[in-house]
Amino acid sequence: MKKILATLILATSTTWFSGVAFTSEPAKAAQAEKPADKAQAAEATTAESAAAPPTKADIMARGAQIVGGVCVACHGLDGMSVVSANPNIAGMPPQYIAKQLEHFKGGIRKNAIMAGMSANLTPDDMKAVGEYYWMQSPKNNAQARDKVMAERGQQIYRGGIADAKVPACAGCHGAVGAGLPAIYPRLAGQWPEYTIAQLKAYQSGERKHPMMNAITSRVKDSDLAAVAEYIAGMRTAK
């Protein structure tokens, strides 16, 4: 069983790493073209700097700057939140993070706190914090506390609920909950309070996404809580 799990984790991380390699290709190419002298680059005219796309290092530095100044208070520098109402976001696909920030800013995803936090972020800032948090390694803070609930949750996560035509969560979020770039968020190790709140928001239609709205509309509350409990206990490295 342990062997199978290790293989799964390995298989998942291989996919993820190839995803990273893929997205960083253009950045690498840009790095080669970039003037070696940073001061010189800073002095470049607007036209020139618009022509040269930022390097991966520039993007990470911008992300770290924003996170260190603002987001750290609730999501930590490492993307692990101390309070269960604030999601852990270490290792979330960068595109998913950027999309959620765009949705908070545009009011598509409604949350008063995050509306304020995203209001001044440009699309490039959103990409930068996405890349920054994606590079952080998830650690374990949440736990599954109720064994019976977690076992029911595991059944749903792996096999869905056939009678209610609910598909297995693993089908989209991955066998070990690591998510999948670009659109499928990581779930493993998430605070159960946050997961339940999001599942209910999809169920009521307050948070809009066709797949998740349809799925949650067919799951009863006790099963939402069970799957959130199981997810909290999933231990998956990025």
Residues within the interface to ligand HEC (CB under 6 A): 66, 70-71, 73-75, 85-87, 89, 92, 97, 100-101, 111, 113-114, 117, 129, 156, 166-167, 169, 171-173, 183-185, 187, 195, 197-199, 209, 211-212, 215, 227
Residue 3 or 69 having the CB closest to ligand HEC: 69
Least distance from ligand HEC to the Cβ atom of residue 186, Å: 7
Least distance from ligand HEC to the Cβ atom of residue 220, Å: 11
Least distance from ligand HEC to the Cβ atom of residue 29, Å: 27
Residue 47 or 210 having the CB closest to ligand HEC: 210
Among candidates 2, 3, 10, which has minimal Cα distance to 174?
10
Least distance from ligand HEC to the Cβ atom of residue 37, Å: 31
Least distance from ligand HEC to the Cβ atom of residue 59, Å: 14
Residue 210 is encoded by which pair of tokens? 């066709």
Contacts of 41 (CB under 8 A, 6+ apart): 34, 35, 49, 52
Residue 56 or 209 having the CB closest to ligand HEC: 209
Q: Is 44 helix (H, G, I), strand (E, B) or coil?
A: coil
> Using H for helix, E for strand and C for coil, what is the string for 71-111?
HHHHHCCCCCCCCCCCCCCCCCCHHHHHHHHHHHHHCCCCC
Residue 44 or 135 having the CB closest to ligand HEC: 135
Q: Is 166 helix (H, G, I), strand (E, B) or coil?
A: strand
Least distance from ligand HEC to the Cβ atom of residue 36, Å: 31
Residue 34 or 150 having the CB closest to ligand HEC: 150
Residue 53 or 167 having the CB closest to ligand HEC: 167
Q: Exposure string (b/e) for 16-32, b if CB count within 10 Å is 16 or more? A: beebbeebeeebeeeee
